[in-house]
Amino acid sequence: MEQFFLKLSIMLVPGLMAITCHEVSHGFVAYKFGDDTARHMGRLTLNPLKHIDIFGTLMIFIVGIGWAKPVPVNFSNLRHPKRDMIWVAAAGPITNFTLAFLSAMVLRLLVRLSGGVTDGSLAAMVFDPTLLMLAFSVYINLLLGIFNLIPLPPLDGGRVAVGLLPYRPSMALARVEPFGMIIIIALVFFTNAFNYVIAPALSFAVHTIAGPQSDLVFGVTRLMMR
């Protein structure tokens, strides 16, 4: 039980922030391009209670990746549906990559500042959990961003591909959407797609933005996933 609450204290805030900001960014960009569906439904808010999917949130603690309730977007309301759909879909991963970068920069700064902090001091009681949360924020945001770039709808990468492809292949890919999540789950859980595709991309991204703190990011993640 103590281990569970340790995980909760470290993973909950960055996990909820990652999935909430991801979804809000879709609705916000859609609103800017002419679709106010999300705004009318009260989903353009950073209040996580408006976005939480219970099962998706639990999956953060079980497998290290989760999801929120998708923000509703009526693509027919967009001023240029095929083109604007690209930006609406891309907004989610871009937001996650931005959060990961900011988290990594703050993490690097705090690690430097924490060099003079005495173990057991009040400052250490603030620094230590903050460092752990920032490290997990780097991981979870990069994982969400990379995972959502898989070019299969309903993932964001799939919708970007639908918007970029010529008409015929675009429509063929769009027809995959009802079966997309089944295919993705099968690829992730029943093949080595994660180890051969997602994991190397994730490792490269973590080392690129976290630099010398990469070991801390992966160490915290391994601890949280036990």
Q: CA angle, 139 as apex, 137 and 142 as ends, to 5°?
A: 100
Sign of CA dihedral 125, 126, 131, 132: positive
Question: What is each CA distance from 169 to 58, 112, 135, 166, 186, in whole angstroms?
Answer: 36, 50, 40, 6, 23
| Catalytic status, residue 23 | yes
Q: Which token pair is 60?
A: 């953060």
- How many C-alpha atoms does 95 have within 13 Å on its Cβ side? 21
> How far is it, in rounded angstroms, from Cα 131 to Cα 165?
42
Question: From the centroid of its chain, how far is CA 16?
Answer: 9
Peptide bond into 212 cis (omega under 30): no
Q: Which residues neighbour 10 within 8 Å (Cβ) at sequence distance 6 or greater? A: 129, 132, 133, 136, 220, 224
Q: Do residues 61 and 3 lie in contact, with contact meaning Cβ atoms separated by under 8 Å?
A: no
Residue of 11, 23, 68, 88 marked catalytic: 23
C-alpha torsion 110→115→119→120, nearest 10: -40
Q: Which residues are designated catalytic? A: 23
